[in-house]
Structure 1
Amino acid sequence: MTAPATPQTDRWNIWAIAAIITVWFTIILGLIFGHIALSQIAKTGERGRGLALTAVIVGWAGVVAGALIMLFILIFGGLAISANT
């Protein structure tokens, strides 16, 4: 079952533009804006799906990278502390 086609417009989705800009400065806001944009674009057929999708992918990659860095710091920081005692 496929979703009904939405008419294409020449308008750009403002949330997609905001998402691609903010994801480079604040990952969480970029992710939120990107998901909002994808939802609206699916309903309205506005332009900017690529921008929104890029913001979401970059945002989630940043979240994963941040989590891995924190895990690295916790593991090796704990090992360094335990080695000194």
Structure 2
Amino acid sequence: VCLVMEYAEGGSLYNVLHGAEPLPYYTASHAMSWCYQCSQGVAYLHGMKPKALIHRDLKPPNLLLVAGGTVLKICDFGTACDIQTHMTNNKGSN
């Protein structure tokens, strides 16, 4: 068995926002694009057929940047569940 995954050369959004090295080339325009892309990804997950998914742990460390920081991808679906599952407690991490 072999698991092949895409390499996100831009790292996580958390590292961009809180890394040791300031990254001045990211602008408010980038931030707006990342928000839009994240919302599009969540809308896609919530609209999946036959069972929609809820991520339940969206945060900057679980948002990866590729293509020079222009494309945002959602990762870490470890706490995801289908939308029809009844939540009995909160999930997520710190």
TM-score (norm 1): 0.32
Q: Which has the higher helix share?
A: 1
User: Which of the two has greater strand per residue?
Assistant: 2
Q: Mark the structure with the bigger radius of gyration.
A: 1
